[in-house]
Structure 1
Amino acid sequence: MKRVYKIGMLFLIFISFFFIGIGCTTNEERRIKEEKNQVLEKKPVIPKQLQGDRSVVVYVVDEGVKREIDIEEYVAGVLGGEINNDWPDEAIKAQAILARTFVMEFLTDKTSKYQNADVSTDIEEAQAWAPKDVNNKVRKAVQETEGMVVAYDGHYIKAWFHSHAGGKTATAKEGLAFKDLEPPYIQSVESPDSQEAPPEDANWTAEFTKKEIINAANKVGSQIDSCNDISIGKKGPSGRAVTLFIDGTEVSAPNFRVALGSTKMKSTLLTDFQVLGDKLIMKGKGYGHGVGMSQWGAYAMAKEGKTAEEIIKYYFKNVDIMKLW
C-alpha cells in the first residue's frame, strides 16, 4: 500500500509541475504577445500616398517638373543632397533613417506648396535632393535601412539634423524658434563633433555691413534704423542665443540668422561681436540650427563603431526605430 501511495503522490506532483509549466509558458507567451501588440500600436500609420505602390509625386525645382518616384529612390536622392557619400556606412544609414522619417512626417502632416505634388526638392519646404551624387555606399545604406523610421509615442518624429553642433545640440525653441510645445525627444546633449570637420564650421568668423544687419532685423519684424551696438539677450540650454539686442531692440536670433544668411551666420552659438566702422564682425561655433542629429557627431560616432540606431537614439531620446515595410 505504501508503494502505491508513493507512486500516486509522485504522479500527482509530476502532474502539478506539468500544469504549472504549461501555465508559465502560457503566461510568458501572453506577455510576449502583449509586448508585440504594444509595439504594433506604437507604429505610425503609413501615409495614404504610399499605401498603393509606395511612390510619391516629387516636384523637382531645378527642372520645374513633377516626377513619380519610389519612396526609397527619393530617400537615396536626399542622401545625395544632404550628406557626403564617402562617409562611414553607419553615419549614412542614420541619415537615411532620418531622411525617410522626415518625408513620412511631411506626407502625414503637411501639404506641398507645389500644386499636385506630394513633396518637393525645395530646401525651404523639405530636403535637398541630388540624385547625381548617389553612389554604391548610398544605395547600400538605403537598402539596409529599407522602410525604417523613427517614432515617438506612435507618431513620426520631427527628424531634424544639422551639420556641426559646436559641441552641444540645441532644443527646438532655442535653435529653431519652434512655436509649438518642445518635443520631448529633443534634448540638449553633448555632441562629439569630429575633429575632421572643416575648421571654418567648428569656429567661424563672418563680416556684415550695418545695412545688412538692419535689413535682416526689419525682415523678421524688429524695426530698427541703426546698428551701433549688438549683444546677446536670452540664451538657451546649449548656450545659443535665443534673442539678440540691436541698439536696444530685441530680435529673434534663429529667425535673424535665416534672414541674414544661414551660410554666413552659421549658427546662433555666438562667441563675439565687434562693431568696426560700418562693419560688424561676428564669431561663433558650429554650423546649422543645432537641433537633432549633428552630422559631424554622427560621423565621429560611426568611426568609433556605433551603429545607426545607437547614433539616432543618442540624439533623439526615448524614440522607437521600426520597420514599416
Structure 2
Amino acid sequence: MRKCCLSVLALVLVMAFLALGCQPAKKPDVTNRERKYDSEPTISLYDNETGQKKQMKLEEYIAGVVAAEMEPSWPVNALAAQAILARTFTMENIESGRVKKLHGTDVSTSVEESQAYDPSRITENVRQAVQKTRGEVITYNGRYIKAWFSASNGGKTASAAEGLAYFKTPTPYIKANMNDPASIQNTLPEIRQWTATIPGARVREAVKSISGKDPGPLTSAAIAKKGPSGRTVQLKINNTVVGGPAFRLAAGSTEIRSMFLTGVSVQGGNLVLTGKGYGHGVGMSQWGAKNMAEKGISPEDIIRFYFKDIRIEKLYP
C-alpha cells in the first residue's frame, strides 16, 4: 500500500514538472541598454501632408526635428540638448508603436503623433549640434524617459502631473518645483509677461468639450486650485471647474501661453488671462537651455539640470 502511494505521488510530481516545463517562458524585462545598435538605424517617416512614406537615417530625421522645435540660429549647445531630447523622444515613440499603428511607420510629421519636423530650417548650427550628440539618449532605470520640454517655464519647473495632468506612469526623473531664473532671463517680452483675451463663446465651447456640460454664457472666472509651482491646475468658469492644462489646449494654447497665471477676469463677455512663461513647464526649458549654452554649459549638463537620476547613453557609434 505504501509503495503504491509513493508511486502515485511520484507520478503526480512528474506530471506537474512536465506541465510547468510546457509553459512558455516569461519574456525578460529588456532594457534600452540591451538594445544598442552596431550602427545608426534607418527609420520610416510618414508625411502627414502628402501621405508619402520614406526611409531615412535617424540622425537626418533628428536634424529636421531640432530645426523645427528650436530656433535654428541658437547656440550649438542649446540645439545639442534639444537633439538629445528629440532622439530620446523618437526612440521611446518607436518603442511604443504609437505611429506604427496609425501609419505603419516609425514616426510622422505630426506634432500630435511625433514631433515637429522641417528639414528646410536645418542650419550649420543644427548639423553641428546633432553630430555633437550623435546617438545620445536619456534613460532612467534603463528605459527611455519622457523627453518633455517647453519654451519657457516662467522661472519655475512643473511636475508632469501639474503641468500636463499626466498620471499614466511615474516620472521621478522630472525636477519639479525648481527655480529656473535662466528660463525667464533675456527672453521675449511676451514670454516674461503676457495677456490673452479669449472670446466668451470659445470659453463656453472649451468648457463644454472638457466637462460635457454647458456652462452657459461666460459671467465669472477664477483660479480654483494651484499646484506646487503656482500654476493653475483647476479653473472655475461660472459654476464649472475644469482642469487647467485641458482648458489651455481646448481654448487655444498659442494665446494662452501657459497656466502660470497671474490674473483671471471677465471683461466685456471675454475671458482675460495674464501670465508668464510659454508652455507646460515640464522638463527642459528651451530659453533656459539657450541662456546656459551662452555661458558655455555642455548639452549634457543642460539636460542634467532639468532631469535627475538619469543616464545619458550612446546607442550607436
Q: If the length of structure 2 is used for normalisation, what is the TM-score?
A: 0.85
CA distance in 2, matches of 1:46, 1:257: 38
Is it true that 1:193 corresponds to 2:180 in the alignment?
A: no
SS of 2:287's partner is: helix
Match of 1:63 among 44, 50, 62: 50
Aligned to 2:292: 301
Give matches, 1:127-276, under 5 Å: 127-188=115-176, 189-191=178-180, 192-223=182-213, 224-276=215-267
Q: Say if 1:222 and 1:236 are closer, same or farther in 2 by CA, change over 3 A.
A: farther
Task: State the secondary structure of the residue aligned to 1:127.
Answer: coil
> Is there any run of 5+ residues in structure 1 with no aligned partner, and where?
1-40
The answer to whether the 8 A contact 2:258-2:280 is kept is yes
CA contact (8 A) 1:171 1:236 kept: no
Alignment pair present for 1:83 and 2:74: no
- Percent identity for Structure 1 against Structure 2: 43
SS in structure 2 of the partner of residue 75 of structure 1: helix
Is 1:96 the counterpart of 2:91? The answer is no
Please identify, of 225-234 and 314-323, the stretch whose mean Cα deviation from structure 2 is larger.
225-234
Check the 8 A contact 1:222/1:250 in 2, yes or no: no
The Cα shift of 1:179 comes to 2.4
Q: Deviation of residue 132 (structure 1)? A: 0.3
| 2:218/2:270 contact within 8 Å kept | no
TM normalised by structure 1 equals 0.83
Q: Secondary structure at the match of 1:80?
A: helix
> Which stretches of structure 1, 4 residues or more, deviate above 6 A after TM superposition?
50-53
In the TM superposition, what is the alpha-carbon distance from 1:194 to its structure 2 partner? 4.7
- Inter-partner Cα distance in structure 2 for 1:63 and 1:46: 32
Instruction: Tell me the secondary structure at the aligned position of residue 61 of structure 1.
Output: coil
Q: Distance in 2 between matches of 1:219 and 1:109?
A: 28
- In the TM superposition, 1:104-119 aligns within 5 A as 104-112=91-99, 114-119=102-107
Larger radius of gyration between Structure 1 and Structure 2: 1
Structure 2 gap ranges (5+): 1-29
Q: What residue number does 1:290 align with?
A: 281
Give the root-mean-square deviation of aligned CA atoms. 1.8
Quote how far apart the aligned CAs of 1:203 are.
Answer: 1.0
1:320 pairs with 2:311: yes
Alignment length, in residue pairs? Answer: 283
Q: Indicate how the Cα distance of structure 1 residues 310 and 42 shifts in structure 2: closer, same or farther if over 3 A, else same.
A: farther
| CA contact 2:223–2:264 (8 Å) conserved in 1 | no
> Residues 21-68 of structure 1, C-alpha deviation per residue, up to 9 Å, x if partnerless?
xxxxxxxxxxxxxxxxxxxx9754448xx7886111111123321111
Deviates more, 1:89-98 or 1:59-68: 59-68
Q: Which secondary structure does the structure 2 equivalent of 1:233 belong to?
A: strand
Alpha-carbon separation, structure 2, partners of 1:202 and 1:178 = 25
C-alpha distance in 1 between matches for 2:305 and 2:279? 18
User: How far did 1:227 drift?
Assistant: 2.0
Q: C-alpha deviations, 1:161-201, integer Å up to 9, x for none?
A: 00011001110011111022441001222122153321111
